């Protein structure tokens, strides 16, 4: 999608008009001077949660999203529509790899850079899209952030940069991504950290498998929960022994907000994990318990590019961000299943 802004509101730097909530110029609810930030990937799974949290804390948030075809754009549009109802949020539609960015970034103190193309498996087939959405977009954003005197960029990196490294993954250890996705995330992360100290502060948060309400439809827990609730057979890629350090979305948001101001964070990559490791077999068993359904699991070959196990060393997150995950896996899983059930129900209502 090319850069486009729709002049429905007045919010925006130097006359730039984005899709804005008309009451977005109110003072911060806590009476403090209002802070302004940009969130890229605002209509995405994690970005939409982050925007809600920031607006709730009184930030003025300028969201950017291209509504790419990585999955059904209707999900992104519906998240964006909900954000548009919040005071202090405005939306700028366009592709960061080509759209004008300076007007949106001018006057912003922090850029939370979550926009990009996620997903390991498709990255083998459409690598050029990953390079454009993850690497080119990040390079353009960093250039604009430096020109516009943004104080800090917080980048959403990924545990995929580690590949099948020694566990627990530590930021001082080797990176060895085994998919084009992981390689593009590492390249973008290095660009961010390389820009740190050259007129810009930058932090890269390495997120570990994020789950919770509004999770992307291509991610495991969402796929498993939908199949269970709809009494459909469920495809499991591999034997289920794969292990993931699952992180609840509210915990990810907590760490991301902390990274905006944490002293000593600039120039660092920091792991953000849920603090407990769970196998896919255990995930399926919990989904069966929580939905009350017997699962019809069909095992298939391991997927290319999927690492065997992930586990975050969280020492740096604790010491620099003061972060520790609060939501236990079973509790977060119940939250996601409840959201998936509601989501399926509302889709059925619309279809009826
Ligand atoms: N979900 C996870 O488990 C996870 C784990 C590690 C890292 N991450 C990273 O966190 C970020 C958010 O992930 P998510 O799961 O919310 O994904 P998501 O796909 O739901 O959100 C990303 C958003 O970025 C937008 N986007 C993509 N390319 C763009 C471009 N060129 N210009 C403007 N907007 C663009 C998309 O339309 C989408 O709405 C991504 O950068 C991802 O790599 C996610």
Question: Does residue 18 surpass a pLDDT of 60?
Answer: no
Question: Does residue 175 surpass a pLDDT of 60?
Answer: yes
Question: Does residue 31 surpass a pLDDT of 70?
Answer: no
β-strand 110-113 against 36-40: which pairing, if any?
A: parallel
> Is 28 contained in some domain?
yes
Predicted local confidence at residue 182, as pLDDT:
98
**Which pair of structure tokens corresponds to residue 234?**
């469920």
Question: Does residue 24 surpass a pLDDT of 70?
Answer: no
Which tens digits make up the pLDDT trace of 222-279?
A: 999 999 999 999 999 999 999 999 999 999 999 999 999 999 999 999 999 999 899 9
Q: What integer best gives the mean pLDDT of the chain?
A: 92
> Is 83 contained in some domain?
yes
**Domain limits at 30?**
13-208+249-272+311-326
**Which pair of structure tokens corresponds to residue 83?**
């954000």
Average pLDDT score over residue span 284-296: 97
Question: Does residue 15 surpass a pLDDT of 50?
Answer: no
Higher-scoring residue by pLDDT: 27, 292: 292
- The C-alpha atoms of residue 259 and residue 34 are separated, in whole angstroms, by 18
- The C-alpha atoms of residue 202 and residue 194 are separated, in whole angstroms, by 8
Predicted local confidence at residue 351, as pLDDT:
86
Secondary-structure percent of the chain, ordered helix, strand, coil, rounded to 5: 40, 20, 45
- The C-alpha atoms of residue 285 and residue 297 are separated, in whole angstroms, by 11
Average pLDDT score over residue span 37-65: 98
Q: How confident is the model at residue 103 (pLDDT cuts 50, 70, 90)?
A: very high
- The C-alpha atoms of residue 296 and residue 6 are separated, in whole angstroms, by 47
Instruction: Say which residue the tokens 């907000």 belong to.
Output: 257
User: 39 has which bridge partners?
Assistant: 63, 112
Ramachandran region, residue 240 (left: φ > 0; alpha: ψ -120 to 50; beta: rest) = left
Over pLDDT 70: what percentage of the chain? 91
Predicted local confidence at residue 90, as pLDDT:
98
167 within 8 A of 277, measured Cβ to Cβ: no
In Å, how far from its chain's centre is CA 230? 27
Question: Does residue 16 surpass a pLDDT of 50?
Answer: no
What are the residue numbers of the active site? 181
Average pLDDT score over residue span 193-212: 96
| Count: domains in the chain | 1
Ligand 1 pocket list (CB less than 6 A): 41, 43-47, 64-68, 70, 76, 95-97, 114-118, 133, 137, 156, 158, 185, 207, 209-210, 216
Q: How far is the CA of 156 from the centre of ligand 1 (A)?
A: 8
Of ligand 1's atoms, which has the minimum distance to the CA of residue 185? 43
Of ligand 1's atoms, which has the minimum distance to the CA of residue 209? 3
Q: How confident is the model at residue 29 (pLDDT cuts 50, 70, 90)?
A: low
> Is 8 contained in some domain?
no
Predicted local confidence at residue 13, as pLDDT:
30
> Is 202 contained in some domain?
yes
> Is 162 contained in some domain?
yes
> Is 76 contained in some domain?
yes
Predicted local confidence at residue 89, as pLDDT:
98
Average pLDDT score over residue span 24-47: 81
Torsion (CA) 142, 260, 185, 48 in degrees, nearest 10: -100
Predicted local confidence at residue 20, as pLDDT:
53
Nearest Cα to Cα of residue 290 among 248, 336, 259, 246: 336
Question: Does residue 14 surpass a pLDDT of 50?
Answer: no
Predicted local confidence at residue 27, as pLDDT:
53
Of ligand 1's atoms, which has the minimum distance to the CA of residue 65? 34
> Is 289 contained in some domain?
no
- What count of other Cβ atoms lies within 10 Å of the Cβ of residue 238? 14
Q: Whose CA is nearest to atom 32 of ligand 1?
A: 95
Predicted local confidence at residue 161, as pLDDT:
98
Residue ranges of E strands in the chain = 19-20, 36-40, 60-65, 89-93, 110-113, 152-158, 201-207, 210-211, 234-237, 243-245, 247-248, 269-272, 277-279, 297-300
> Is 278 contained in some domain?
no
Q: How confident is the model at residue 28 (pLDDT cuts 50, 70, 90)?
A: low
Question: Does residue 189 surpass a pLDDT of 80?
Answer: yes
Instruction: Say which residue the tokens 């990585």 belong to.
Output: 70
CATH number at residue 69: 3.40.50.720
**Residue 196 main-chain phi, psi, to 5 deg:** -65, 135
């Amino acid at each position: 999608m090319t850069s486009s802004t729709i002049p429905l509101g007045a919010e925006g730097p130097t006359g730039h008009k984005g899709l804005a909530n008309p009451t977005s110029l109110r003072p911060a609810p806590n009476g403090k001077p209002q802070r302004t930030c940009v969130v890229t990937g605002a209509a995405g799974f994690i970005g939409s949660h982050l925007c809600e949290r920031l607006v709730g804390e009184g930030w003025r948030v300028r969201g950017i999203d291209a509504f790419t075809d990585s999955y059904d754009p209707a999900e992104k549009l519906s998240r964006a529509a909900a954000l548009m109802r919040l005071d202090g949020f405005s939306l700028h539609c366009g592709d960061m790899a080509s759209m004008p960015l300076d007007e949106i970034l001018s006057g912003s103190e922090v850029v939370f850079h979550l926009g990009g193309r996620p997903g390991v498996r498709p990255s083998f087939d459409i690598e050029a899209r990953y390079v454009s959405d993850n690497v080119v977009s990040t390079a353009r954003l960093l250039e604009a952030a430096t020109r516009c005197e943004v104080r800090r960029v917080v980048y959403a990196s990924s545990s995929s940069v580690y590949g099948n490294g020694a566990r627990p993954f530590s930021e001082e250890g080797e990176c060895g991504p085994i998919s084009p996705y992981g390689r593009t995330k590492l390249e973008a992360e290095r660009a961010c950290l390389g820009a740190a100290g050259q007129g810009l502060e930058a932090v890269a948060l390495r997120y570990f498998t994020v789950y919770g309400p509004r999770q992307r439809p291509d991610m495991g827990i969402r796929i498993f929960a939908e199949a269970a609730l709809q009494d459909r057979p469920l495809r499991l890629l591999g034997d289920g022994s794969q292990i993931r350090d699952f992180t609840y979305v509210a915990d990810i948001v907590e760490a991301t907000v902390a990274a905006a101001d944490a002293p000593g964070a600039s120039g660092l990559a920091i792991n953000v994990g849920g603090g407990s490791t769970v196998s896919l077999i255990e995930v399926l068993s919990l989904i069966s318990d929580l939905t009350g359904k017997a699962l019809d699991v069909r095992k298939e070959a391991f997927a290319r590019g999927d690492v065997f196990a992930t586990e975050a060393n969280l020492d740096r997150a604790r010491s620099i961000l003061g972060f520790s995950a609060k939501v236990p896996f079973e509790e977060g899983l119940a939250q996601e299943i409840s959201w998936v059930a509601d989501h399926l129900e509302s889709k059925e209502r619309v279809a009826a």
